[in-house]
Structure 1
Amino acid sequence: MSKYDVFELFTYLRKCPDAYVQPSDFFMKEGLNSIALIYDTYRMVSNDFLKNEFDIPAGFNFRAIQDNHWRAIHISAWLLSHPDFINCPSIENKLYSFWFEELLHASEYVKYNEWISDDERAEEMVRLLLYCCEIIPDGETKDEAADKLSSLSSVDRHKVLKESYEAHERIMNIKREMAEKKAREAANTYGRE
């Protein structure tokens, strides 16, 4: 298949082994060593297995990351083990943004197991990774890829739902205020008679 084929990457992601879905060792004694997994993924992507410097800010607080987000990172590390990403040093400096910014926001709305079990969420992770790495999927233009990611985005969907809910609340408040005003006017008219 072609390099960076969304369907191929999607299929690969859906085969994520159970070992990658384990909680982080920050939460369980027998959990997955998340830091080692991140560093090994950096090494595999850069194809520099002696590398000790990574694009993670000094003093970054790994303990502040929630379990759901850690598990999403673990699953994405499996995705990054696909041959398309091995020995691809041009994306190494983009992984921090993917893991600790974009995936953080998406993980607020997606339960970790949905990244594997739900077709749309699996495709969202693939497209989010490609977007963060500035890779255009095979057979798509930049605009097509952006549109497809936008249509799948959990963050965008939540934002639309929130705006819709807030608009509905504003309408209900206006209706309530109008009804109260009408009741007051009727009471005033009744009181004058």
Structure 2
Amino acid sequence: MSKYDVFELVTYLRKCPDSFLKPSVFFSKEGIDSIALVCDTYRITGNIFLKRDFNIPADASLKAITDNHWRAIHISAWLLCHSDFRNAPVIEDKLYFFWFEELRNASAYVKFNDWITDDERAEEMVRLLLNCCEIIPNGENYDEAADKLSSINSADRHKVLKESYEAHERIMNIKREMAEKKAREAANTYGRE
């Protein structure tokens, strides 16, 4: 198939082995050494197997990463094992932003197993990765790719829902205040008579 085909990448992602779904060693002794997995993924994508220093957060920041976020990183490491991302040193510098910014934001709204069991969430992870790596999916142009990502982005959807809820609450408060004012006016009119 063509390079960076969204359907092919989603299909590959959904075949993620159970071993990638384990918790991080930060949360379980039997878990995955997340830092080693991240470093190995840097090596695979950059094709630099002797490199030792990679762009990872400081120790204090590592402790703030939730289990759900780590598991999403593990799943994305599986995705990055796809042949489209091997020997692609141009994306190495972009992985930090993907893992520790974009995926963190999305993981706040997506349970880790949904990345592989839900078609829309799997497509979201693929599109987030491609977007962060500045790769336009095969058969799409920049605007189409941005529009498709925007339509399935969990963080954006949550923001819209929150704004809608807040607007609804404001409307309900205004209606309640108007009803109270009308009741006071009616009581004042009754009291004068």
Q: TM-score range by the shorter chain?
A: over 0.9
Per mean C-alpha deviation after superposition, the further-off stretch among 156-165 and 56-65 is 56-65
Aligned length: 193
Aligned to 1:178: 178
Change (3 A) 1:60 1:132: farther
1:61 is displaced (CA, Å) by 2.4
Gaps of 5+ in 2: none
Aligned to 1:40: 40
Aligned to 2:148: 148
Report the Cα distance in structure 2 between the residues aligned to 1:16 and 1:73, rounded to whole angstroms. 12
Aligned to 1:116: 116
Q: Deviations for 1:42-67, whole angstroms, at most 9, x for unmatched residues?
A: 00000010011212355562121100
Q: Tell me, what secondary structure is at the counterpart of 1:15?
A: coil
1:11 is displaced (CA, Å) by 0.2
Q: Deviations for 1:6-61, whole angstroms, at most 9, x for unmatched residues?
A: 00000000000000000001000100110100000000000010011212355562
What percent identity do the matched residue pairs reach? Answer: 77
Q: Tell me, what secondary structure is at the counterpart of 2:145?
A: helix
Aligned to 1:105: 105
Alignment partner of 1:4 is 2:4: yes
Q: Deviations for 1:118-144, whole angstroms, at most 9, x for unmatched residues?
A: 000000000000000000000000000
Aligned to 2:159: 159
Report the Cα distance in structure 2 between the residues aligned to 1:64 and 1:37, rounded to whole angstroms. 18
TM-score, with normalisation over the residues of structure 2? 0.98
Q: Which amino acid aligns with 2:176?
A: R
Superposition misfits of 4+ residues, deviation over 4 angstroms: 57-60
Change (3 A) 1:60 1:143: farther
TM-score, with normalisation over the residues of structure 1? 0.98
Q: Deviations for 1:140-180, whole angstroms, at most 9, x for unmatched residues?
A: 00000000000000001000100000000000000000000
Q: Tell me, what secondary structure is at the counterpart of 1:61?
A: helix
Gaps of 5+ in 1: none
Report the Cα distance in structure 2 between the residues aligned to 1:59 and 1:13, rounded to whole angstroms. 29
Report the Cα distance in structure 1 between the residues aligned to 2:61 and 2:43, rounded to whole angstroms. 21
Aligned to 1:81: 81
